[in-house]
Structure 1
Amino acid sequence: MSGSPEIEELPATQTGPKGVIHDWRKFKLESEDHESIPPNKRELLRQMSNPRSNNDNTQEKIGRKMSVHEYEMIQEEDEACLRKYRKQCMQEMHGRLSFGPKFDAVFELDSGEAFLDVIEKEHRLTVVVVHIYDDGIAGCDALNNSLTCLAAEYSTVKFCRIRASATGAGERFSDDVLPTLLVYKAGELLGNFLCFTKHLNEEFFATDVENFLNEYGLLPGKEIAACPDEEENTDVD
């Protein structure tokens, strides 16, 4: 119908064991440096990544001849490339299942109006964490650093900070209640933690803040993309 909004189609991805193998072969072919692949191996990869053929007999012959070659090629596959492919697939899957905007930093709010805007106008599915701080207050710097780390791991959460004097309600956020951590979603206050450091040890880190917020169920699932790269944790023989 004219006037109906167009729906953007997601790239088609084959499913099932054979589909996954074909997608992997195609990824391998596209990601390899073509100059470093022998012509016969490159052609074999091309055939393996495109199983359709107008000639069924020819396709069957290719299938029979490829069995040994394919086994040898699988043995030679670069494990780092395979891990990269798996990670890309996980990221694409997560992207299709995730909703709402994404963030990767702590946002500095410079006024009470900006403070209200981030609470009231942010996407309804977005969790907003606001740190109210001031210079020279114990724990404020450590909490700022912790939120910076968490912002890199929870891209669907909007982490913000604002000086107490910039809120327009400085009398409500005196030094004895700082640092204060507020958590909102869809304009609703979910968490109100005055003098947040009283809930933690004298010396704390991002994992401590993360665990505390998780105890109250205030953080969504951690992003797949934020998991440490497998290349850094897996030794290749």
Structure 2
Amino acid sequence: MSAQVQEEEPLEPHTGPKGVIHDWRKFKLESEDHESTPQKKRELLRQMSNPKSNNDDNPDRINRKMSIQEYEMIQEEDEQCLRKYRRQCMQEMHDRLSFGPKFDSVFELDSSEAFLKTIEKEHRLTLIIVHIYDDAIKGCDALNNCLNSLVVEYPSVKFCRIRASATGAGERFSDDVLPSVLVYRAGEMLGNFICVTKHLNEEFFPADVENFLNEYGLLPEKEFAACPDDEEDDEEIGVE
């Protein structure tokens, strides 16, 4: 009976100093690349990460002394793995504190009904940015490409696009007002921008659209960014 209860008990993150150490050791072992890491190095890392492995009765292991090169190798591996572990913990904390749905692409709305449903039924905390476009209008394709890039940096924002002819009010979206951008939250319109390209350079990029929206305070804070240590890792890889 006790064994059954133990199997059904959910796995939870460990708390307290000992729990953190346990999670760190587990993360380190799981993050090892067993395909690319030499057997000798893997064994050293395993011994350092799991002190129980040092309690066997193998006399060779008991009497063996670690060389300076091996110590430096382990120390460097520890530092890199610790940075990855820290970033993972920060990401998990960020995910727990984030509210509302997340999106990873621009949604194509194919009718006025889909447009209204998106505005009225979406989560009340979700910011909705809708691009009304026409393939024949200059600037519409470039703005669509910009939104495809911004969705990566602002996953809490629901970016949408709809052809003017599909809105059911094509006469209101003539060539001289496209591309247009509408911004909503909780069913309320926060922004209504016609002929957006007039506010941008002839050739514009995602950062230009981002700055334009930020001028009106329409974008939230950017989502979780990598730690500064990420840059250090990249530099180390470049050096090697």
Structure 2 residue 99 is matched with structure 1 residue 99: yes
Give the aligned partner of residue 25 of structure 1.
25
| Structure 1, 225-234 or 185-194: larger mean CA deviation | 225-234
Give the aligned partner of residue 168 of structure 1.
168
Give the aligned partner of residue 44 of structure 1.
48
The Cα RMSD (Å) is 3.4
| Structure 1, 126-135 or 77-86: larger mean CA deviation | 77-86
In the TM superposition, what are the counterparts of 1:1-237 in structure 2 within 5 Å? 11-12=12-13, 14=15, 23-33=23-33, 36=38, 38=40, 39=43, 41-47=45-51, 75-77=75-77, 80-224=80-224, 230=230, 234-236=234-236, 237=239
Q: Deviations over 1:44-85 (max 9, x none)?
A: 31239xxxxxxxxxxxxxxxxxxx9xx757523165544432
2:166, 2:177 → 1: CA distance? Answer: 16
State the shift of 1:11 in Å. 4.2
Helix, strand or coil at the partner of 2:144: helix
Give the aligned partner of residue 52 of structure 1.
none
1:226, 1:211 → 2: CA distance? Answer: 21
Q: Judging changes above 3 Å, is the alpha-carbon distance between structure 1 residues 41 and 226 closer, same or farther for their aligned structure 2 residues? A: closer
State the shift of 1:33 in Å. 3.9
1:146, 1:37 → 2: CA distance? Answer: 47
2:29, 2:107 → 1: CA distance? Answer: 41
Helix, strand or coil at the partner of 2:162: strand
State the shift of 1:86 in Å. 3.0
1:214, 1:37 → 2: CA distance? Answer: 52
TM (norm. structure 2) is 0.75
AA of the residue aligned to 2:125:
L
State the shift of 1:149 in Å. 0.2
Q: Judging changes above 3 Å, is the alpha-carbon distance between structure 1 residues 32 and 226 closer, same or farther for their aligned structure 2 residues? A: closer
State the shift of 1:164 in Å. 0.2
AA of the residue aligned to 1:12:
P
Is the contact between residue 128 and residue 158 of structure 1 (CA under 8 Å) also seen in structure 2? yes
State the shift of 1:41 in Å. 4.0
AA of the residue aligned to 2:150:
L
TM (norm. structure 1) is 0.76
Is the contact between residue 34 and residue 42 of structure 1 (CA under 8 Å) also seen in structure 2? no
Is the contact between residue 13 and residue 23 of structure 2 (CA under 8 Å) also seen in structure 1? no
Unaligned runs of 5+ in 2: 1-9, 53-67
Is the contact between residue 119 and residue 186 of structure 2 (CA under 8 Å) also seen in structure 1? yes
Is the contact between residue 153 and residue 226 of structure 1 (CA under 8 Å) also seen in structure 2? no
Q: Judging changes above 3 Å, is the alpha-carbon distance between structure 1 residues 227 and 151 closer, same or farther for their aligned structure 2 residues? A: farther
| Identity over aligned pairs, percent | 73
2:45, 2:92 → 1: CA distance? Answer: 28
Unaligned runs of 5+ in 1: 1-8, 49-67
1:130, 1:88 → 2: CA distance? Answer: 33
State the shift of 1:214 in Å. 1.1
State the shift of 1:29 in Å. 1.7
Helix, strand or coil at the partner of 1:235: helix
